[in-house]
Structure 1
Amino acid sequence: MTGSIEQGTSQTHGSTHILHFLVRLPRRMESVWPALSTPQGLAGWFTAVDVLEPRLGGAVTLRDLGSGQVTAWDVDRVAEYTVEGGGRIRFHLERDGEEGSALRFTHEFQGERESEERWRARFERLIELLGKP
């Protein structure tokens, strides 16, 4: 199984932008989870993490986005980070067949800091990273 970015949509409501992606990943949820929920995993494809307390209400600092807190945490399934200036970033994993995972991603933010193209490039790096033996 290879990974793919099947869907990317962008909506704007006033000054709030919402990006959604469906990303199919070539690994089981248990293998994908560390890439979304650990400083080392996130740094491998997204951004350096200065602080991450892996629990609901825990502190988080994503170097390129800002500091805030973990606003949803369901081990092996959901990680959501809400940071000052960077908005709300939600990773929701689901099973996709016997060997794969589907990542439902949402980024809700103000301003023009992020784009669908930047996230698409990040997800391509994630797929590449997970595709390595």
Structure 2
Amino acid sequence: MDVAHAPHAPHGTRTVRQVVHLPRPEEDVWPALAARHGLRSWLAAVDVLEPRLGGAVALRWLDDPAGAAVTGTVTAWDVERVVEYTFTGGAGRVRFHLEPGEHGDRAATVLRLTHTFDGPEALREDQEAAWRVRFDRLSAVLL
């Protein structure tokens, strides 16, 4: 997994970017990012998910079982390619972008994550580590 660090942004805005190479085609990866059962298998319990642009979303992260649900809106929806969830209350925006594997390999997928949120630098470091663990779970689920 390649990890790119975003430069420090003003006003406490932080960005985590990660690139994950998965040995599965995009159509196998998409449900893990954009369907209740898929998200539940590696990332979050889904209280609400309206799978469309402008739809409501409410997730409870699996790695924070005592945490409250984060709620928001689906702010990008390009089926089998891009899904973005923008949350209220400082949880920020999580965007997943899928593309074919290296050299156009349709049997593999490159997943690009961008997670933007407000908070201190230490929170960015924590989120970066959390996404690495989450993507390890996703890889295990997809095998």
Query: Number of paired residues?
Result: 127
Match of 2:43, SS state, is coil
1:116 aligned residue: 128
1:50 aligned residue: 47
What percent of counterpart residues are identical? 50
CA distances 1:15-35 after superposition (whole Å, capped 9, x unpaired): 111000110011000000000
Query: Which stretch shows the higher mean deviation, 92-101 or 60-69?
Result: 60-69
Which one of the candidate residues 107, 111, 116 is aligned to 1:103?
A: 111
Which one of the candidate residues 79, 83, 97 is aligned to 1:75?
A: 79
Deviation of the 1:39 alpha carbon = 1.3
Distance in 2, matches of 1:59 and 1:31, equals 23
Distance in 1, matches of 2:28 and 2:48, equals 22
1:89 aligned residue: 94
Once superposed, which parts of structure 1, at least 4 consecutive aligned residues long, lie more than 6 Å away? none
Gap regions ≥5 residues in structure 1? none
Contact 1:11 1:19 in 2 (8 A): no
Which one of the candidate residues 35, 49, 53 is aligned to 1:38?
A: 35
1:7 aligned residue: 3
More helix by share: 2
CA distances 1:25-83 after superposition (whole Å, capped 9, x unpaired): 11000000000001111111111111000000000011235111000000000000001
TM-score (norm 1): 0.89
Deviation of the 1:116 alpha carbon = 0.7
1:28 aligned residue: 25
TM-score (norm 2): 0.83
